[in-house]
Structure 1
Amino acid sequence: MRTPSHVLLASLLLSTACATTGTRPPEPERVVPERPFGTLRAQAERQQAWLRERLDVALPQLMRQHRVEMWVVPMREYNEDPVFQALVSATTFAARRRTIYVFHDRGPQLGVVRIALGGSPQGGLYEVRRPPRKVDGGGVERVGEPWGPEQWQMLKQLLEERQPRSIAINVSRTFAFADGLSHGEYEGMTEALGPEWTARLKPSGGLPVDLLAWRGEDEGRFFAEENKLAWDIIQTAFSNTVITPGTTRVNDVEWWMRQRLSDLGLTTWFHPSVSVQRQGATEEQLGEDPIIQRGDVLHCDFGVTALRLNTDTQHMGYVLREGESDAPEGLKQALARSNRLQDLVLEELRPGRTGNEVLRTVLSRMKQEGIDGTVYSHPVGLHGHGAGAMVGLWDRQEGVPGNGDHTVIPSMWYSVELQATSPVPEWGGQKVRSAQEEDVILGVDGRVRWAYQRQTAFHLVR
């Protein structure tokens, strides 16, 4: 439907008034929602195939790798274990009263049995066990859901039936992703199981971490599409479609990015951030919400959440001065240094190494090449700051005890996050921070590739 001419005229007059008075520009035009990833039903069907592959392929491999015979994962509604979303279908949003997932590895020939005490079969992926039939007040037999102590007794009966030598549970002082068993659930479980079975409980270690980190090939194909969408939104945000130099504030750009996701029926796992570096101005002088001016260097941090998977991207932009057609050479060299630092991370990020080993090697090579930078890369996937080996923190360049000692595995994703600081001759030697973040995929063969592509030139606002 065409917009009436009087509405267009009013919009034009309002934009002109804002430009002359320096007031906040109007909200960007609402975009008709699109379906970049298809209908919700189609998305759920794709997610179900991912779940089946994760449980059929990854779970047995990882249970044997971590020497877990039986894994018990209890959780209650609204207090779900972090590993919950790696275990359930797209149509399952909560644990329903209580669900106890039990995984029993009977060896390579018989495979892993998947049992749910409570909850649903998740599209036929779990054997669901219910309590015995009960007769209600009207004399009708009904199968209820497990409830309270009765559910723990069902778990005890299952253990007695299968006689596992050890039982892994999610308790950890190192990984939040492996520490999902709440204190109340632990008390209820051990009280019901008694000392004999309680003595066989042990921490699940890295099993839930690596199951959350593991990604299939079709997930990688989707991740490329998701990263392309993130790129498209950033490219538009850092253009004259959104930014009018001398008028637009950084918060305007942040909210445009957030709104664009909402218009597409998507969301994010953090509020977008946009910042400015300016010749002759300090961060304190610029303040929290500066008006974007010509000659400014722009930076954004932006993530997309879709089909439970998350992206994480940081890009650089430049607002051309009058008469310029490109960013100054010194700024382009600053971006090239952060690109080179990306190269070093990709060359050293490989399965079998710990995150701290990758960090030490990259920082050593970085110093040999004379780059002034920091590396703080992290896994990404079902969580934005995802499960897996951490490669530094911005304020922990000596390594990250515990999280950084975990091992990189094949079939996982990383956000290669880092920054290089460089003096810019055109700015009188003032240092500029080129902070970049781009997602990569470690394939089943351990080779690293960009999920979509990486930024090698500034986004330009004319």
Structure 2
Amino acid sequence: MRTRLRLLAPLVLSTACASVQSPSAGAPSSPVNSSSSERPFGTLREQAERQQSWLRERMDTALPQLMRKHGIEMWVVPMREYNEDPVFKALSAPTTFAARRRTIYVFHDRGPEKGVERLALGGGSQGGIFTPRRAQQQVSQGGQGLRQAELWGPDQWLVLKQVLEERQPQSIALDISRTFAFADGLSHGEYEGMAEALGPDWVNRFKPSGGLPVDLLAWRGADEVRFYEDETKLAWNIIETAFSNQVITPGVTTTQDVQWWMRQRLTDLGLDTWFQPSVSVQRQGATEEQLGDNPVIQRGDVLHCDYGVTALRLNTDTQHMGYVLREGETDAPEGLKVALKTSNRLQDIVFEELRPGRTGNEVLKIARKRMTDEGIDGTIYSHPIGLHGHGAGAMVGLWDRQEGVPGNGDHPVMANMWYSIELQATSTVPEWNGQRVRSAQEEDVVIDAEGRVHWAWKRQTQFHFVR
């Protein structure tokens, strides 16, 4: 109870404003522009208008390019309410939260001049993105005549069959994959119902959609990049406040106190996260087992957090390091600063090797060789990010698969996508009697249309300090 009382004052102070000046030794973060301190990204209506423009750009620009890149003439995406295909996030308007009963999206590439036709068999137009096509029947209104009722059962498969017969595609791509979860959204029940209704002639034209849903989910437009900088700034801002005396009182505050403050902060802003924040401690002379699951933060501790913000369906993923200054200290010990610089150097290597056209496994192999050649004891486990936290695209290692990730890691990196450069470097710290300290960092990057890599905002090069 004492801990909760001591935390109450900083909690109220911090929730009073969305942007707080940085308490760290580095340059202060820029506050997120906002007409209201509790609405860092505007009203829900303003957010939805912005998201709708992103959807329009994705459908008008990215979809035709990607269908032709993957050699897909027709792409059919059926789903049922609350059992949506993972690609649904890339296809639906911000005011649509689930598929309508059964929704079947049909994309037909009619060539560069006519473009890609977009049909919705069931559900709405998603703000004018799709042309709806309905299966309807006449139903009685209790003596008040007849009305049209939308059907969503087997009749929708018959409408799909009509669409196929009218367009006569040579092949029909479906989201079936043993490699990518993002390309494996067609449920077994939907496949059986569709195959039964369409018949063997059409079933023989089925083929996997391959990397199309993966790349469509990964693709990001220019205004999304502009928004992402502000979202990343907000993530930084919250971490800077969490790793300061506004939230932490050495000898009193526990790591779980900080975790819950970080999560509550997002809820107070009307935002969300895609995973429970984590905060951990490394302490001179103490093992992880000795510290336990919820240690009280003490002076001299090295802090680490893993934190994600979800806003306008887009996700951040950030890991930063902090240090609790001892009495009389004005900076971290030199050995700890070297440890942070070492993980920064590993960030440089991955940043430089992350190039469109290379597979994730190729990036990993080249980066690990450079890491080893430079004598860095590290691990690389970077991943795409965007509409999902662990997003669609090529993995660049897993913490337990440093030799490469079969299948998923063989997918190529592309332009117009985002990555979380996630890694760790372990260093010996002389001031801690040679104890090894793990500097784990994660920072989001943008790969632009020309294939150049940029930090979404910036990266951490100095500890956040609790004084």
Q: Which interval holds the TM-score relative to the shorter structure?
A: over 0.9
Distance in 1, Cα, partners of 2:454 & 2:151: 46
**2:57 maps to which residue?**
53
Q: How does 1:19-418 map to 2 (within 5 A)?
A: 25-27=6-8, 28-29=11-12, 31-32=15-16, 34-132=38-136, 134-137=138-141, 138=143, 140-418=145-423
**Contact map agreement 1:133 1:141 (CA 8 A) in 2:** no
Secondary structure of 2:426's counterpart equals strand
Residues in 2 aligned to 1:314 and 1:144: alpha-carbon distance in whole angstroms: 52
CA offsets 1:318-359 (integer angstroms, 9 cap, x no match): 000011000011000000000000000011001000000000
Count residues with an aligned counterpart. Answer: 443
1:163-188 CA-to-partner distances (Å, cap 9, x unmatched) read 00000000000000000000000000
Report the Cα distance in structure 1 between the residues aligned to 2:139 and 2:335, rounded to whole angstroms: 80
- Cα distance per residue 1:140-169 (max 9 Å; x no partner): 443322321100000001000000000000
| Equivalent residues of 1:24, 1:248 under 8 A apart | no
Q: In the aligned structure 2, how far is the partner of 1:180 from the partner of 1:255?
A: 33
Distance 2:353 2:148 in 1: 55
Q: What is the TM-score normalised by the length of structure 1?
A: 0.94
The CA distance in 1 between the partners of 2:4 and 2:157, in whole Å, is 62
| Residue in 1 that maps onto 2:23 | none
C-alpha distance after superposition, 1:2-23 (max 9, x if no partner) = xxxxxxxxxxxx9xxx3xxx78
Indicate the residue corresponding to 2:31 in structure 1. Answer: none
Which stretches of structure 1, 4 residues or longer, exceed 6 Å deviation after superposition? Answer: none
Deviations 1:107-161 (A, max 9, x none): 1111000000000001111000112452424354433223211000000010000
Distance in 1 (CA, whole Å) between partners of 2:90 and 2:146 is 35
Q: Secondary structure at the match of 1:379?
A: strand
Distance 1:353 1:407 in 2: 5
Gaps of 5+ in 1: 1-13
CA contact (8 A) 1:24 1:247 kept: no
Answer whether contact 1:378 1:416 (CA < 8 A) is retained: yes
CA distance in 1, matches of 2:405, 2:44: 39
The C-alpha deviation readout for 1:92-114, integer Å capped at 9, x for no partner, is 00101100000000111110000
- The separation in 2 between residues aligned to 1:23 and 1:239, in whole angstroms, is 17
Q: Decide whether the 8 Å contact of 2:359 with 2:413 is kept in 1.
A: yes
1:337–1:420 contact (8 Å) kept in structure 2:
yes
What is the root-mean-square deviation of aligned Cα atoms in Å? 1.2
**SS of match in other structure, 2:150:** coil
Q: Within 5 Å, which residues of 2 pair with 1:426-441?
A: 426-441=431-446
Give the Cα–Cα distance (whole angstroms) in 1 for the partners of residues 137 and 99 of structure 2: 22
Q: Does the 8 Å contact 1:250/1:290 carry over to 2?
A: yes
- Deviation of residue 288 (structure 1)? 0.3
Partner of 1:5: none
Q: Are 1:23 and 1:247, in contact at CA under 8 Å, matched by a contact in 2?
A: no
Deviation at 1:26, TM superposition (A): 4.2
**Could you tell me how far apart the structure 2 residues matched to 1:309 and 1:326 are?**
35
